[in-house]
Structure 1
Amino acid sequence: MGFPVSLRVDDEGVPEGAADAAFGWLREVDERFSPFRPDSEVSRYGRGELERGDLSADLVEVLELCEHYRLATGGAFDVRLPGREFDPCAVVKGWSVQRAGDLLTAVGARRFVLNAGGDVVVAGGPWRVGVRHPEHADKLCTVLELTDGAVATSARYERGDHIIDGRTGRPATDLLSLTVVAPSLTEADSVATAAFALGTDGIGWAAARAGCEVFAVDARGQVLRTEGFPVAPESSAAA
């Protein structure tokens, strides 16, 4: 899936093999949903080899999420960009990692943290989660405290200007980073990417979504955050 995944479970009595099941699911997702694998379901669908009726229920769910955020952003978030291959990774990542967290919960895990490339699902906290400074890799711009839920960040520092505003076809550059806290990583990750594509307007758009809190750093280095963003006690927020 192109990013490291780590898991910490602090519960006693969680069935042996629970972690293996969660990681097995993520490996399955990579095989089925990667646009970089020519034989994956996503690649075959993108090439027009599969009709809607031929798709798995999982891919149908992902497609519906993609369309939901395309409509909600007026086309700023779009997994079907002109001149590019169909790529739903912006939705698949959060959706699949949240599903892995749900698998852990289903077998009795009550206190854990699942970290997928910096996007995090937590349960049974409080857990402290650091948000990387968008311009200094060795610094944090804030630390949040979360008991149950998820946090995701979209930014330019790892992959450059890779988030495209589907309305213009150009990279979104109004923000340096945008972090969303939400009840699930499915929502946190998709909202963070969609809001980033919207630019500075995306901060208010994300904040207006039920259950979402936002922390953003714009291109001038200004920090903007919603009142309910769960900053940890004694944490600073400086860009």
Structure 2
Amino acid sequence: MAERQTGVRHVEQVMGTVFSFDLRHPATPDVDRAVRDAVAWLHHVDRVFSTYRSDSAISRLGRGEATLEELVEEMGDEVRYVLDLCAWAERRSRGCFTAYPGGRLDPSGLVKGWAVEEACRILAAAGVDRAYVNGGGDLQLGAEPSPGRPWRVGIADPTRAGELLTVVTGRDLAVATSGSAERGAHIVDPRTGAPASGLLSATVIGPRLTWADAYATAAVVMGPEALDWIEDLDGYELLAVSEAGDVAYSTGFPRPVAPTS
């Protein structure tokens, strides 16, 4: 979790998880309006893409009750756009990420990161750029919280509860972690249909949470070879923890930094 100081904070339960906003701006009507717009966006994404809502567009599409063309005509091109992003992520990940895990339509491995990234963009467009949005532990960071002072994000050690592996610092940065440490073996290897067992956890950093989120999921499926794979993805880096607890880093991932109070 990124460190927190004074400013405006908001917590929202949506999309089956907790979203938190940390804005290093004083409370004003414009800031409050920007947060409301970003929160409204998250609820919109939930209505369209939730696999837990029987009335969502993605659920209707998965059950064959509506075609993609019908949904595009009904609500615009968002569903097609997200499925295109998922197809791109599948190609980039050598098939280790898919919107059809276990043969079931479920683009949530990319949707949450995309939704958080867009929420952060909504804030920035309203002039609220010194902020971050955290969606279930995956973060999109905005401009520095104060001049010359970057955000600090602790990366949890999946083998030792309450301990950190390292602290990542930066601005305009995405941080996403996937794995089985907290939720068990919930990630499906699309190549076999079985639960992924390549890595205990994978943390990906880069400019966009849309891709960092999908790449972290793919890295867990891919296993140790993900360290070589991510070297070809410009701007993205990986911290991988094996099931034995061994820690490895891609070339550009920041090496351990001692957390400070």
- TM-score normalised by L of structure 1: 0.92
* CA drift at 1:207: 3.1
Contact map agreement 2:83 2:99 (CA 8 A) in 1? no
1:234 is displaced (CA, Å) by 3.5
Q: Which runs of 4+ in 1 moved over 6 A?
A: none
Residue 6 of structure 1 corresponds to 20
User: More deviation in 36-45 or 54-63?
Assistant: 54-63
Tell me the amino acid that sits aligned with residue 86 of structure 2. Answer: C
Cα pair distance change 1:107/1:231, threshold 3 Å: farther
Gap runs ≥5 in structure 1: none
SS in 1 for 2:86: helix
Task: Tell me, in whole angstroms, the C-alpha distance in 1 between the residues paired with 2:222 and 2:187.
Answer: 10
> In the TM superposition, what is the alpha-carbon distance from 1:194 to its structure 2 partner?
1.5
Identity of aligned residues (%): 40
- Look up the equivalent residue of 2:251 and give its one-letter code: E
Residue deviations 1:140-162 (CA, integer Å, cap 9, x gap)? 11111121111000110122111
Q: Which residue of 2 aligns with 1:74?
A: 94
> Cα 1:38–1:71, aligned 2, differ >3 Å: closer, same or farther?
same
The DSSP-based 3-state class of the residue aligned with 2:200 is strand
Q: Which residue number in structure 1 is paired with residue 200 of structure 2?
A: 176
Distance 1:233 1:174, change over 3 A: closer
Secondary structure of 1:102 counterpart: helix
| 8 Å contact kept, 2:176–2:209 | yes
Q: Secondary structure at the match of 2:133?
A: strand
The alignment partner of 1:21 has SS state of helix
Within a 5 Å distance, the mapping from 1:142-221 to structure 2 comes to: 142-221=166-245
The 5 Å alignment of 1:39-118 reads 39-54=55-70, 55=72, 56-82=76-102, 84-118=103-137
1: distance between equivalents of 2:56 and 2:243?
Answer: 37
Higher relative CO (CA 8 A, sep ≥ 6), structure 1 or 2? 1
Give, in angstroms, the shift of residue 80 of structure 1: 1.5
After superposition, what is the alpha-carbon deviation per residue over 1:80-100, rounded to whole angstroms, capped at 9, x for unaligned? Answer: 234x53111001110111110
8 A contact 1:145–1:231 mirrored in 2:
no
Contact 2:142-2:171 at 8 Å conserved across structures: yes
Q: Which residue of 1 aligns with 2:9?
A: none
Whole-angstrom CA distance in 2 between matches of 1:164 and 1:69: 15
TM-score (norm 2): 0.84
Determine helix, strand or coil for the equivalent of 2:120.
helix
Size of the aligned set, in residue pairs, is 235
Task: State the 1:231 CA deviation.
Answer: 4.7
